[in-house]
Amino acid sequence: MQPPIMRRRKVAVLGASGLVSQRFQQRLVSHPWFELVAVYGSPRTAGQALADLDWVLPEARPQIPDLTVRDLASILDEDADFEVVFSALPADVARRVEKPLASQGLFVFSNASEHRMDSDVPLIVADLNPHHFLPLRVSGDPAAGFLACATNCTVIPAALSLKPLWDFIGLDDVSIRTEQALSGGGIDLLRRHRETGEHPVDIPGEAEKIHEECLSLLGRALPTQVRPANLPLKVEVERVAREFGHIVHITATLHAEKEGGEVLEWMQQYRSRPQTLQLPSAPTNPLCFVENLIPSEMPDPAADLTAGMDIRITNLQVNGRSISFSAWSENTIRGAAGGTVMLAELAVAEGLLGE
């Protein structure tokens, strides 16, 4: 059973019509810990009924609350009727509002890239590095707000699947090659591909982001900072003609020679704080070994908060100290809105938002 939560916290979503913002809406409509009371959008969507906006996700629109999209430009001047904020903003817009909202006492959980590597902002995958909340615990006041960030969507299947190997065996080097879905580039890219059949292959700056964030996630939490992992890491990225779901192909050198069955067992049995705390969005098995990497169907994410939250792994090969495998994750769920919601669940369960 999930632990009892005394009250549902009122939340706002920043972003109204994009893939990630609608994933947030989808996952909040029946969330037991959060109540969606506000959605903020650009001048293009502000003033419109939320239910009248085009629904861009592949699943049917759930029973969205009867809300009118608020103007994001006014958010800093309003008296907030919510305490938690989920941000799906572009980086340049996030720069203007996320930290000011936190300074007003709100708890901001962001999927935007702008503040991910800021020294005063925790960068956390809930079931990978929950201990990276430590600097916030040391310096934070439960009555004050804060900003915490989720990661780049492609980092999660790589870093989370490497975590048990890093912890229990050690890694001497890692190479990551990605096949990233069109939805990772946003709804406009997805629509252009549907119209033209064309898409860019290169993703400028992406390899550098994955490299930096992965080493931070695997790094050591100190009282006032995170020390990145000392791990040689090579990253190659590519956009492919698939609408949803990122794949990473990983090769690595283990610090010590291990049998394949032993490595498989460590990865299969990996659990972290979200599983211990039985968070609503936490998959029972974060790492799921499968024959078919891409699932043929998925439960409704509006009804099942664990839908799209596991990392699927296939073709695990261990030969002495060499290991290779491929991993898949749903980039708009686990890699974006679902992972960010689970981060907020973790903060609530750990008492970081006060009573």
Spatial separation of the C-alpha atoms in residues 303 and 307, rounded to whole Å: 9
Residue 230's CB is within 10 A of a number of other CB atoms, namely 9
Contact 69, 50 (CB under 8 A): yes
**C-alpha torsion angle, residues 155, 161, 163, 165 (rounded to 10):** -140
Q: 288 an active-site residue?
A: no
Block residue for tokens 């809300």: 67
Name the catalytic one among 149, 214, 246, 288: 246
- Which of the following is catalytic: 115, 132, 153, 214? 153
Report yes or no: 162 and 253 within 8 Å, Cβ to Cβ. Answer: no
- Decide: 199 and 241 in contact? Cβ < 8 Å: yes
Distance (Å, whole) CA 117 – CA 136: 15
* Cα–Cα nearest to 352, from 37, 136, 82: 136
Cα separation, 136 vs 146, in Å, equals: 8
Distance CA 86, CA 270 (A): 28
How far is Cα 268 from Cα 131, in angstroms, rounded to an integer? 21
Is 131 an annotated catalytic residue? no
Of 4, 16, 74, 79, which Cα lies nearest the Cα of 44?
Answer: 16
* Catalytic residue numbers, as ranges: 153, 246
